[in-house]
Amino acid sequence: MEEAISKANALIEAMEYIRRFRGQIVVVKLGGSVLDDMELQKKMLTDVAFMATVGMQPIIVHGGGKAITKAMNEAGLEPVWVQGRRYTDEQTLTIAEHTLVHKTNTPICETLRELGCDAMGMHSLSSCVLTAEILRLASEDGRKIDLGMVGEVVEVNGQLLLTLCKSGTIPVIAPVAMDRTGGKLNVNADTAAGMVAAAVKAEKLVMVSDTHGILSDLKDPASTISTVHQSDIKKMMESGVIGGAMLPKVDACITALNGGAKKAHIIDGRIEHSLLLEIYTQKGIGTEIIKNGNGQKKEK
């Protein structure tokens, strides 16, 4: 009986958020262990299916870096890294596209359909919603560094995404973009997610990775900062609280907020039902980044 009552109380707590977010778009960026562990991925996608079932309109953007590296190794190719980014020649792009579309995007769509949802893969082999330009990095002496066929997202077909969401379809976006001449470019999935959230002015952008969120003490996994004001981000970067692999995730959150998204969250996908816990409970489970200084976790 106590267990049943506990479940009922959880549903009552969720009711407020279900009502508030009905009809709202939430962009979910999947990365980390969720993409490598199929059991974990199924649980996360079950959360997404729940969101769709209660009236939210999810959009998924996924990465796939580890799978691409594995596929390259199997093909006898050694990845070349330039300032933390994978140099992408034509052969590498072919492997990346095949891996992202057939090994990651398609299985995600199939799982969502098994869970009773309508899902559509959005990528360079079907309907591509990402437009990019060649990305050139600057070296310390000011020279431009060539990354090959690597792009920076400059435009998102938000209208198509909005149309799909309103029709009850979950768009599943792979990080391969088209350039304006019809060529293909590999793009950063975190950056793409931020641009997508901005284009559709999402209620939320949720970055799912292998971290509890932003930590006040990088050596203490329990030091998750619940809420961060956008204006504090720069100071946290300068102090080293935000750095390394967290930087592109936070940058994506800022891109989303500046583009019109209301809130951004960073959560640990290894925790069961972390997506639902962050959205549908008062306390939440990760870090939320907000535009103003008055937001509290209970006011999600």
Question: pLDDT of 204-222, one tens digit each?
Answer: 999 999 988 888 877 777 7
pLDDT value at residue 184: 96
| Measured distance CA(295)–CA(300) in Å, rounded | 8
Smallest Cα–Cα separation from 182: which of 113, 128, 259, 220? 128
Q: Do the beta carbons of residue 194 and residue 147 sit within 8 Å?
A: no
Mean pLDDT of 257-277: 92
Find how far residue 56's CA is from the centre of its chain: 17
Using the 8-state DSSP alphabet, how is residue 104 labeled?
I
Question: pLDDT of 58-92, one tens digit each?
Answer: 999 999 988 998 999 999 988 888 877 888 999 99
Question: How many other CB atoms are there within 10 angstroms of residue 46's CB atom?
Answer: 17
Residues 6 or more apart from 295 whose CB is under 8 A from it?
227, 229, 263, 288
Mean pLDDT of 215-234: 84
pLDDT > 70? residue 147: yes
Residues 6 or more apart from 43 whose CB is under 8 A from it?
272, 273
pLDDT value at residue 178: 96
The tally of CA atoms less than 13 A away on the side-chain side of residue 262 is 10
pLDDT value at residue 254: 95
Smallest Cα–Cα separation from 83: which of 135, 39, 127? 135
pLDDT value at residue 7: 67
pLDDT > 60? residue 300: no
Supply 147's token pair. Answer: 């990354």
Higher pLDDT, 113 or 274: 113
Mean pLDDT of 278-291: 84
pLDDT value at residue 235: 86
pLDDT > 70? residue 293: no
pLDDT value at residue 291: 85
pLDDT value at residue 2: 65
Place of tokens 């509290």: 296
pLDDT value at residue 295: 46
Mean pLDDT of 12-17: 78
| Measured distance CA(274)–CA(286) in Å, rounded | 8
Using the 8-state DSSP alphabet, how is residue 199 labeled?
H
pLDDT > 60? residue 297: no
Average predicted confidence (pLDDT) for the chain: 89
pLDDT value at residue 3: 66
Q: Between 189-199 and 246-259, two packed helices, what is the crossing angle to 10 degrees?
A: 10
pLDDT confidence tier of residue 186, bands split at 50, 70 and 90? very high
pLDDT value at residue 294: 45
pLDDT > 70? residue 296: no
pLDDT > 70? residue 177: yes
For each of the domains in the chain, give its residue range(s) and CATH number, in order of start: 2-299 (3.40.1160.10)
pLDDT > 80? residue 50: yes
Among 95-99, 169-173, 286-290, the minimum mean pLDDT is found in: 286-290
pLDDT value at residue 11: 72
pTM of the full predicted structure? 0.91
Residues written for the chain: 300
Using the 8-state DSSP alphabet, how is residue 83 labeled?
T
The letter for the amino acid at 119 is: A
For residue 33, report the phi and psi dihedrals to the nearest 5 degrees: -65, -25
Place of tokens 């006898």: 76
